[in-house]
Amino acid sequence: MSALPSVMDHADRITSASRKAMSILIVDDEDSMLIYLDRVLSGAGYRTTLAVDGPDAIRAAGRTGRFDLLLTDVHMPDVTGLELVRQLRQHDPLLKVLYLTGHRDRLFTEKVTFWEQEAFLEKPCSAAGLLKAVSLAIGSGSSASLRE
């Protein structure tokens, strides 16, 4: 039995009212994935800001300021999700990050260690799995692998 609290424990603690105060920067270069992530998360009451790539996300962060969570694809052209995190953490070192990847093996080749405030979720993911992962990432201070 794991010493970590269950995903559902964290999901239950984050109420609809508190979600409205939480902002998520969503970054993905696939339009269909970006739309899906936005619909699920905004439908659950989170405030979302969308970016189509790393440079767009950096501009959005400059305009909007601090986010409660960065939800980013790992493999994107120009600026990867890993580089995006490095750049955004220069201004917000405690930024929580949920990496999305359809290539877990490549992720672990490029990023050997997940630091505190970081986790990953494999694509594709269900709406329920996404909401659980986001809830855990926002409510947790430890790194984690999140699978449905």
Q: What is the pLDDT of residue 108?
A: 52
pLDDT digits (tens, 9 = 90+) for 68-78: 999 999 888 88
Backbone angles phi, psi at 118, to 5 degrees: -130, 145
Specify the residue for token string 């580089």: 83
Contact 54, 76 (CB under 8 A): yes
**Which domains are seen in the chain, by residue range?**
7-146 (3.40.50.2300)
Contact 67, 61 (CB under 8 A): yes
Backbone angles phi, psi at 81, to 5 degrees: -60, -35
Specify the residue for token string 């039995």: 1
Between CA 141 and CA 42 the distance in angstroms is 23
pLDDT digits (tens, 9 = 90+) for 80-104: 888 999 999 998 999 999 988 876 6
Contact 50, 29 (CB under 8 A): no
Q: What is the pLDDT of residue 140?
A: 53
